[in-house]
Chains A and B, each alone.
Chain A
Amino acid sequence: MTSTERKLLQELIIQPGTGKALELRRGQILRIAQTTGRQCADFNCFNLHDYKEFFHTGRTRHLHGMHPTKRDFLWSAPPRERPMMAIIEDTVGTNDVLYPRCSAFLFEHQYGLAVHTNCHDIQAEAQREYGLTPDDVHDSFNFFMHTGVAPDGHPYIAKNMAKAGDYVELLALMDVLAIPNVCGADVMMTSNFELKPLKLSVFDAADSDWAEVNEPPRLKNQRNPEMFKIKDIKADRELYKDASYKPDFTNVPIEISEIEIELSDEEKGWLSQLAATGKYGESDAEVLRYVFHSWWIDKFMRGPKHVPKG
């Protein structure tokens, strides 16, 4: 029989200017909820048993776009690349993985405010409870942050749409240290120019919560330190050369071969027409290579396509 009842384990309010590091075991849920609304929550996440595995905005953005939401994952950085948490509920749908965390530098540089609440320092202070340093803070998942990209390529921040009671829920797929913080940007649009508390709740997931999780890929290239050539964490700051180092890059040397493709008159005609557009390459061979790879991506590649059609 499957359970539909969750068990509440912990509930707390985080005040403006603060954040809180929370241990979550696999199968536990973190809910980040609005109190009065319109508040961005910045978020960091580490493997609880190996802090060198941490949430990666880049891979998450690549796989789920700039506004991940319900049924998307929070992925760890290469070469680990595992889903750390699953978004199982999102009542607003305006999350962001485009902007980096705000920082003391930013407020000093852009606003002339040398001492100011900022997500980097709030994260660093909350993570310090677990021995992490300011260098360990990583780019944040920005929940409830409403963003976009202007036609000129620059990102922008729009009005925060979250209302009182809105929430996101994250199901831990591994044991994690999860650190939400109340975004400290009160002179930006991020939280509509006002800092408000956020409510955090931790639950034991019910069986029915797992129904909201898509099956993630499990591949040999989701690597762990046992597979690294250097298995220990470097513990000093200075960089120095390893005299015994011998390069061992993958698939090197890259060797070029020529494959002869025999085309009928009709096929050659198509190739010439495609070449005449000037969009696909300089020579017929370059155009044919472009055609093959972009066709293959469109037809067989898993995940979001990175080559526009046509």
Chain B
Amino acid sequence: MATSKIKLRLNQQQIELIDNTIRSGESNSQDDLVRRALREFAKANLPQPEKDK
């Protein structure tokens, strides 16, 4: 599967927020949490294919 890499620029406080969220059990990794955010944000804000509606 083809992939793309995005370099997210975050400061130590923003990373703390991510790590706290992971520790609370919401995700397994930084990468996974950010991709979950993208998936859920896109679903809420982009037009969905007819089958997903």
Chain A residues in the interface with B (C-beta under 8 A): 251, 254-265, 267-268, 270-271, 273-274, 284-285, 288-289, 291-296, 299-300, 309-310
Task: Write 16 A-B pairs (CB below 8 A) sorted by A numbering.
Answer: A258-B8, A258-B10, A259-B8, A259-B10, A261-B5, A261-B6, A261-B35, A262-B4, A262-B5, A262-B31, A263-B38, A268-B4, A274-B41, A292-B18, A292-B34, A295-B41
Q: Of all chain B residues, which has the CB nearest A250?
A: B13
Chain B residues in the interface with A (C-beta under 8 A): 1-15, 17-18, 21, 26, 30-31, 33-35, 37-42, 44-46
Residues in A whose Cβ lies below 8 Å from that of B33:
292
Residue pair B10, A288 in contact (C-beta under 8 Å): no
Residues in A whose Cβ lies below 8 Å from that of B21:
296, 300
B32 to chain A, nearest CB (A): 10
Secondary structure of the A contact surface, majority rule = helix
Residue pair B10, A262 in contact (C-beta under 8 Å): no
Residue pair B7, A260 in contact (C-beta under 8 Å): yes
Residues in B whose Cβ lies below 8 Å from that of A268:
3-4
The 4 closest A-B pairs by CB, nearest first: A270-B42, A295-B37, A258-B7, A292-B37
